[in-house]
Amino acid sequence: MRLNRYIDHTVLKPATTLEDIKTLCMEAVEYDFAAVCVPPPFVKLAKTFVGSTNTKVATVTGFPFGYSAIEAKVAESVLAIIDEADELDMVANIIAIRNKDWAYLEKEIATIMPIIRNKQRVIKVIIESGILLEEEIIKCCELYARFGVDFVKTSTGYAEKGATVEAVQLMRKHLPANIGIKASGGIRTFAFAKELIAAGATRIGASASVQLMKEASL
């Protein structure tokens, strides 16, 4: 298992500095991580740091709570694409999920997907699995599979509960094989990352990525 190619090396804290981004990107290039995931204002800078390497630049939209208007998510998506982000991690409207407003969620993803596909970008939809009921996770998987998203992602890292093996297993059971699963939130050890990958995760979002790699080499 090439753990490095599963990892989205991440810094999304509100007080992120230019130096944080430089360090993140240099580490990502050194370890050949799949991507860096950075706040929207740092996308252009991250692109210059990773250059023509294999490491992609991801950013977030609707982050971290997901309840911004569809129009706001459209604007964020367009700006991220203009700044040359390769991948967009969009937080679904968690309020709509908890209130079973599936029509709203369908409208949201139906509005966003043409923008993503037209520019051949990757979209990961964050559903915040740690605060959802099992039936809500299943319904999300069914909905986003229908629209052909690239990944369904467990968590933002800002809820009280992040990724779990059980949530990843449930998602894998209810998603087609061509849709990836990004596990994120609280992944601080290689052992846990390995469990999540065994459960079906195809990406790992982590800020402790370098530590994971050091543990993996022991």
Q: Could you say which residues of the chain have pLDDT below 70?
A: none
Query: Rounded to whole angstroms, how far apart are CA atoms 107 and 101?
Result: 10
Q: What is the model's pLDDT at position 51? A: 97
**pLDDT score, position 1:** 79
| pLDDT tens by residue, 163-186 | 999 999 999 999 999 999 999 999
Domain 3-216, second-level architecture: Alpha-Beta Barrel (3.20)
89, 124, 139, 150: the catalytic one is 89
List of residues 6+ apart from 180 with CB closer than 8 A: 124, 150, 151, 152, 202, 203
Q: What angle do CA 31, 168, 177 make, to 5 degrees?
A: 85
Catalytic annotation, pick one of 73, 124, 153, 194: 153
Reduced to 3 states (helix: H, G, I; strand: E, B; else coil), residue 37 is strand
The reported pLDDT for the residue numbered 159 is: 93
Parallel, antiparallel, or unpaired: how do β-strands 151-153 and 122-126 relate?
Answer: parallel
- Is residue 56 among the annotated active site residues? no
Specify whether 153 is catalytic.
yes
What distance in Å separates the CA atoms of residue 213 and residue 218, rounded to the nearest whole number? 9
pLDDT at residue 218, as a whole number = 85
Kind of pairing, strands 180-184 and 87-91?
unpaired
Residue 79 has a pLDDT of 98
pLDDT at position 84 is 98
Contact between 182 and 153 (Cβ < 8 Å): yes
pLDDT of residue 151: 98
